[in-house]
């Protein structure tokens, strides 16, 4: 019996073949890395929907991360443990505490961020081992990005069989979910208990996976950390616009057919597009996205599942929109910018984003930039889902400020003027504080990390983040909207910024989704 248990843990038979994993740093966790979930999207499969992975004979080692998908070096905080970028990148990783295939543990399926241009599943801050010790199986996935994941063209639309092109990266995520649904039982998982979660573009992806008919039946619960397809950030363009961008790109490359485009070496494609950051992204193709995500949610056609979502207290430095790094932001200047930007609505705006003093204006500029970048769109997602889905919703704001090492500051931000910046919750969620040596972690940081791990895994197990010894997190209720503020003294508080989001919502309605 002991031999049977060990075999189930060490060797796993999937639909494609047998995998052999390796023990984690914690011997209670078994890891399976670089597991292919789809055929390599190379050659004639470039810019096609993912196809099933070919079966293999014998035992395949799953002990090292697969290559991350093609990308330029964009974000300095991304550290990888993989062989480097490649088109052959459609792999996933599994961390499981199960000792046999009979345990039926809940699954947490992680989608990394990076603006749909960069990122990968091998980052130490996203390692699933510690989270898996909470009694869940953690899965992380690679997906195509940039021109490789989102290139649209009329000829691609014609050959697709569903009159659409682009969104291959989003389809990769859906294919990985299908792979998990069909295979995770062999790793001790419950295919009917899958929580998808992600940060930034990963959170946008969670929003998309819940809305698309290709994937909305594949998950049980969802967690979104900072981002959704509501508002202007990473907004999906219409198919015709994306196709025309593709036509222009092909003309610039003097490629007059798909064969010529597919013959361009991957490195050259990447080099050609590395300065067009954000130029190739999701579109409303009529297939993956039948209509916009906002319309799908408003019609109640998304997955009706429990949602836990929120954002960080200081998602974007004030210099991004209302400030200038070379020019001090004053109350007078902020008020003038408000009048120029919001015209007849400037008075209403300044009652919400006040500028009674220079310091007040600075705080309002930070709040506005964070709202426009992430908070408003995530808020709109939460509120729309709460209205149209008969499912519990839990809302949070992450307030914990990572303690910088003495003498270290965050570039572009005045010392002492920032809160919890974009992506700073990731190390806490994964229990991976020690993977980041740039911060002077304190006991309270470890307390917050433990708190988030417990909330997130409780939610994955039951659809409710609450549990013994945790501060009470009330579900969303229109009668009394409570937001969980996550810090060392975590507590639920009444929502105080709703007026700001309602103002931005009205502006977006007038301007077709653009603030």
The three-state secondary structure class of 363 is helix
393 three-state secondary structure: strand
Upper half-sphere CA count for residue 259 (Cβ side, 13 Å) = 0
Instruction: Output the pLDDT for position 276.
Output: 56
Q: What pLDDT, on the 0 to 100 scale, is given for residue 3?
A: 35
With contact defined as beta carbons under 8 Å apart, do 459 and 223 qualify?
yes
pLDDT confidence of residue 321: 61
Q: What is the dihedral of CA 62, 67, 68, 69, to 10 degrees?
A: -120
147/168 Cα distance (integer angstroms): 10
443 contact partners, CB below 8 Å, separation of at least 6: none
Q: What is the DSSP letter of 57?
A: -
- Report the DSSP beta bridge partners of residue 92: 35, 141
Task: Return the pLDDT at 354.
Answer: 97
d(CA 344, CA 359): 25
- Looking up tokens 């397809």 gives 229
Which helix H or strand E contains 105, and what residues bound it?
A: strand 105-111
187: three-class secondary structure by DSSP:
helix
> How high is the pLDDT of residue 414?
53
Catalytic residues: 200, 315, 422
* Bridge partner list, 491: 485
Q: Look up residue 261 and give its two tokens.
A: 């485009």
Q: What angle do CA 458, 461, 463 make, to 5 degrees?
A: 80
Residue pLDDT, tens place only, 108-162: 999 999 999 999 999 999 999 999 999 999 999 999 999 999 999 999 999 999 9
Q: Are 230 and 304 in contact (CB under 8 A)?
A: no
Domain limits, the chain: 1-34+72-305, 309-328+369-377+395-515
Task: For residue 515, give every residue at least 6 positions away whose Cβ sits within 8 Å of its Cβ, in sequence order, or none.
Answer: 231, 232, 372, 376, 504, 507, 508
CA separation for the pair 335, 353 (Å, rounded): 10
Query: Residue 500 corresponds to which tokens in the numbers above?
Result: 């700001």
CA distance 181 to 198: 18
Query: Looking at the domain 1-34+72-305, which fold is it?
Result: Rossmann fold (3.40.50)
pTM equals 0.95
Place of tokens 């997955």: 303
Identify the pLDDT of residue 7.
39
Is there a contact between 37 and 90 (Cβ–Cβ < 8 Å)?
A: yes
The sign of the dihedral angle between the CA atoms of 501, 503, 507, 510 is positive
Q: What is the mean pLDDT of each run of 10 residues along the chain (515 residues)?
A: 44 96 96 98 98 96 98 94 98 97 97 97 98 98 98 98 97 98 98 98 98 98 98 93 95 95 96 73 98 98 98 84 67 94 96 96 92 97 97 98 79 59 97 95 98 99 98 94 97 97 94 61
């Amino acid at each position: 019996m002991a031999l049977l248990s060990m075999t189930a843990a060490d060797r796993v038979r999937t639909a494609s073949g047998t995998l052999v994993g390796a023990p984690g740093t914690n011997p209670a966790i078994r890891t399976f890395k670089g597991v292919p979930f789809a055929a390599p999207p190379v050659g004639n499969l470039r810019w096609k929907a993912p196809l099933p992975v070919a079966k293999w004979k014998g035992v395949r080692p799953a002990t090292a991360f697969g290559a991350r998908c093609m990308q330029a070096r964009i974000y300095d905080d991304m550290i990888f443990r993989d062989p480097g970028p490649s088109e052959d990148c459609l792999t996933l990783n599994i961390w499981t505490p199960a000792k046999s295939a009979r345990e039926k543990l809940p699954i947490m399926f992680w989608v990394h961020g990076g603006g749909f241009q960069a990122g990968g599943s091998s980052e130490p801050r996203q390692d699933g081992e510690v989270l898996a010790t909470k009694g869940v199986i953690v899965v992380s996935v690679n997906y195509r990005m940039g021109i490789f994941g989102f290139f649209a063209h009329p000829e691609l639309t014609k050959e697709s069989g569903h009159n659409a092109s682009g969104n291959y990266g989003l389809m990769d995520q859906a294919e990985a979910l299908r792979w998990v649904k069909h295979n995770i039982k062999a790793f001790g998982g419950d295919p009917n208990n899958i929580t998808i979660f992600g940060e930034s573009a990963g959170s946008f992806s969670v929003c998309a996976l819940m809305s698309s008919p290709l994937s909305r039946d594949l998950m049980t619960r969802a967690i979104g950390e900072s981002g959704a397809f509501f508002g202007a950030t990473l907004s999906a363009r219409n198919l015709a616009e994306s196709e025309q961008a593709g036509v222009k790109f092909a003309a610039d490359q003097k490629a007059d057919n798909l064969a010529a485009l597919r013959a361009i070496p991957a490195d050259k494609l990447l080099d050609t597009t590395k300065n067009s950051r954000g130029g190739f992204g999701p579109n409303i193709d009529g297939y993956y996205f039948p209509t916009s995500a906002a319309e799908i949610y408003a019609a109640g056609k998304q997955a009706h599942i429990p949602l836990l979502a929120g954002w960080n207290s200081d998602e974007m430095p004030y210099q991004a929109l209302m400030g200038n790094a070379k020019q001090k932001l004053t109350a007078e200047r902020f008020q003038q910018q408000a009048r120029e930007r919001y015209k007849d609505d400037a008075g209403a705006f300044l009652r919400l984003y006040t500028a009674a003093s220079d310091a007040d204006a600075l705080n309002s500029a930070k709040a506005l930039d964070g709202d426009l970048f992430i908070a408003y769109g995530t808020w709109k997602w939460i509120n729309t889902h709460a209205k149209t889905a008969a499912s519990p919703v839990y809302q949070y704001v992450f307030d914990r400020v990572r303690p910088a090492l003495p003498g270290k500051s965050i570039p572009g931000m005045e010392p002492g003027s920032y809160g919890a910046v974009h992506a700073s919750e990731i190390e806490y969620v994964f229990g991976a504080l020690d993977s980041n040596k740039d911060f002077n972690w304190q006991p309270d940081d470890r307390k917050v990390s433990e708190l988030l791990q417990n909330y997130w895994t409780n939610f994955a197990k039951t659809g409710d983040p609450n549990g013994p010894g945790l501060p009470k997190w009330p579900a969303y209720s229109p009668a009394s909207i409570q937001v969980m503020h996550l810090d060392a003294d975590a507590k639920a508080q009444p929502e105080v910024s709703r007026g700001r989001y309602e103002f931005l919502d009205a502006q977006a309605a007038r301007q077709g989704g653009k603030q």
